[in-house]
A = this chain, B = another copy of it.
Amino acid sequence: MRIDSPRDYVVENLKYALDPSSIAVVGASRCPNKVGYKVIDGLQKWGYKGTIYPVNPRAEKIAGLTAYPTVADIPGPVDLVFVALPAYLVKMVLEQCVAKQVKMVVIATSAFKEIGRADMQDALTQYCRDNKLPMVGPNLVGMGSPYLDFNCGFIPYLPVKGPVAMISQSGANLLAALGTSQMSHYGMSFFVGLGNKADVDFSEFILYAKDDPMSKCVATYIEGLDSPEAYVEACNETVPTKPVVAIKVGGSKIGVKAAFAHTASENEGTNDAFYDDIFERAGAIRATTWQQYLDISLALGLQPPLKNDNIVMITNGGGSGLLSCDHFERRGMPMRELKDISPMLAQRIRAYMPMFGSPLNPVDISGTASPKQYKGAITQAIRDPNVSCVYGSIAPTAVTDVEAVVDIYIDIYNEYRYLGKPLVMECQGGQECADAILKLRDAGIPAYATPEQAVDAIIALRQYAKIQERFAK
């Protein structure tokens, strides 16, 4: 439901959603297949340190914990109430939460506005707002943080630790991102599913992320904004210090219906240009595809903004170089020739390649490049005061020592990090490249499996620098 502006009391209380001292799970179940069981199981398994109160009028113990008939019966104070009960029982629980002075309530239950019960949902929202009880959901999957060992919802795993705060309307896509995080070392600071976002809005979680020390980039997956102006306001406050990434789905003609059926998102009368305008005013960087959403948010979370387009690409594979320069041009940011970036650099780099290498840009140090040649070429490039970004690429030829080259990149990154120049990598191929990508990401270097992904990441770093300039106070 619409808000004019992010509300202070909500932002203030979000810490109880992501870092509560005590949680009541209403609808707690002894049956391992039920959501009401999985929530408690997830909290315990991932090491939640606070107190868990199962609430179930027909059980004495659940998962080894004392169960209480209602929220009112819980002896101590309760920060967060997680509700997994049928829709018609939710109002009753909210009344108990208000009486108990609960700080935050999360409604996982589906079957509200998304199936036509807008009145029922709006009544709950109004009740929560009248009583200043912030409500997340309904129709959501949960939230958590790897830094706090906190996994609250029906969520199979925590992500790896990292820079991205993931605020998602879609539960399934949030879960997909968590799975990708584990598998591809896409690091997150916290994550939350918003579902129908009947009360707590994107804007409020964005402002929470702004002040969260672990979050370096805010990624927002949007099916529909009820309160675009609040989103713009929250982004405007955030982007001077942290980038915001947005992906908007459900903009297609048939998607409008599907988005309503999924998270009750209203998109009638809006279109892509409408959201382009919102994200432009917000200073948010818009991703088109899911892959791009993940790729650019990781780069923005790990690397500094890119202050100009003096990018030098160093590769041992001419093909990945060509794919890259084509994609840079296609995206409207053509690469510059090496001699135009820095007149002497080509000669200095020449020393580190065979005769058939090419000191253009991309710098092709050839498929025979040794770790030593890589080291020389990268060092020359990153130290050159005219170069603002090094884009490294490793192609797995039969003579390439991928592991040694990765170690060289990591060493150089650590040595020259103080220069504030982004380093982005591409490593296209089989298992040794997949392993290289994980190792590079663990070292803080955004690395990707295709040239186009890396180029998209670099362009996002440039976009963010321009946004920072625009919003500088």
Is A321's CB within 8 Å of the partner chain B?
yes
Q: Mark A303-330, 1 if CB is under 8 A from B, else 0.
A: 0000000000000111111110111111
Q: Say yes or no: A179 contacts B429, CB within 8 Å.
A: yes
Quickly give the copy total for this chain: 2
Report A248 CB to chain B, min CB distance, Å: 9
List the B side residues contacting A223 at CB < 8 Å: 319, 322
Contact of A258 among B180, B181, B325 (CB under 8 A): B325
Q: Return the CB mask of A175-192 against B: 1 if under 8 Å, else 0.
A: 110111111000000000
Q: Which of A340-359 contact B (CB under 8 A)?
A: 355-356, 358
Chain B residues within 8 Å of A183, by CB: 430-431, 434
Most buried by B among A183, A255, A289, A321: A255
A337 to B337: give the CA distance in the assembly, Å: 50
**A422 to B393 alpha-carbon distance, docked (Å):** 36
Beta-carbon contact of A450 and B289 below 8 Å? yes
- What is the bound-complex CA distance between A14 and B139, given in angstroms? 60
Establish whether residues A317 and B399, one from each chain, have CB atoms under 8 Å apart when the complex forms.
Answer: no
List A377-401 residues whose CB lies under 8 Å from chain B: 395-399
- Which of A61-69, A88-96, A259-267, A439-447 sits within the interface? A259-267
B178 touches A430 (CB 8 A): yes
Minimum CB–CB distance for A448 against chain B, Å:
10
B430 and A318 contact, CB distance less than 8 A: no
Binds B, one of A110-118, A226-234, A406-414: A110-118
Counting CB contacts under 8 A, is A221 at the interface? yes
Q: Does A144 sit at the interface, judged by CB under 8 A?
A: no
Closest B residue by C-beta to A168: B319
Measured CA separation A358–B361 after assembly (Å): 51
Does A261 lie within 8 Å of B318, measured CB to CB? Answer: yes
Surface stretch bound by B, among A71-79, A127-135, A149-157: A149-157
- Cα(A159)–Cα(B156), bound, Å: 33
| Pair A362/B258 contact, Cβ less than 8 Å | yes
- On whether the beta carbons of A356 and B114 are closer than 8 Å, the reply is yes
Name A397's contact: one of B175, B253, B336 (CB within 8 Å): B175
Are B182 and A325 neighbours in the complex by a CB distance under 8 Å?
Answer: no
How far in angstroms is the closest Cβ of chain B from A442? 17
Residues of B close to A251: CB separation below 8 A: 326
A334 contacts partner chain B, Cβ-Cβ < 8 Å: yes
- For A169, give the chain B residue with the smallest CB separation: B319
Q: Which residues of B contact A262 (CB under 8 A)?
A: 318-319, 321-322, 358, 364
Residues of A in contact (CB 8 Å), total: 90
Q: How far is the CA of A168 from the CA of B322 in the complex (A)?
A: 13
Contact B356 A326 (CB under 8 A): no
**Are the C-beta atoms of A259 and B176 separated by less than 8 Å?**
no
Most buried by B among A33, A154, A173, A334: A173
Give the docked Cα–Cα distance between A328 and B171 (Å). Answer: 22
Cα separation A189 to B262 with both chains bound (whole Å): 42
Given contacts A291-B452, A322-B223, contact A367 B171 (CB under 8 A): yes
B-chain residues with CB within 8 Å of residue A254 when the two chains form the complex: 325, 329, 334-337, 360-361
Which of A180, A322, A328, A398 has most B Cβ within 10 Å? Answer: A322
Q: Quick check: A172 and B316 within 8 Å, CB to CB?
A: yes
Chain B residues lying within 8 Å of A238, measured Cβ to Cβ, are none
Partner of A180, one of B318, B319, B429: B429
| Contacting residues, chain B, for A288 (C-beta < 8 A) | 330
In-complex Cβ contact of A451 among B35, B221, B252, B290 (8 A): B290
Q: Within the assembled complex, what's the spacing in Å between the Cα atoms of A318 and B115?
A: 13
**Contact call B322/A255, Cβ cutoff below 8 A:** yes
Is A245 an interface residue, CB under 8 A from the partner? no
Nearest B residue (CB) for A262: B318
Can you name 9 A-B pairs with beta carbons within 8 Å? A38-B398, A170-B317, A172-B317, A173-B323, A179-B396, A179-B429, A182-B431, A289-B323, A289-B327
7 closest A-B pairs by CB:
A179-B430, A172-B317, A170-B319, A262-B318, A179-B429, A173-B319, A172-B395
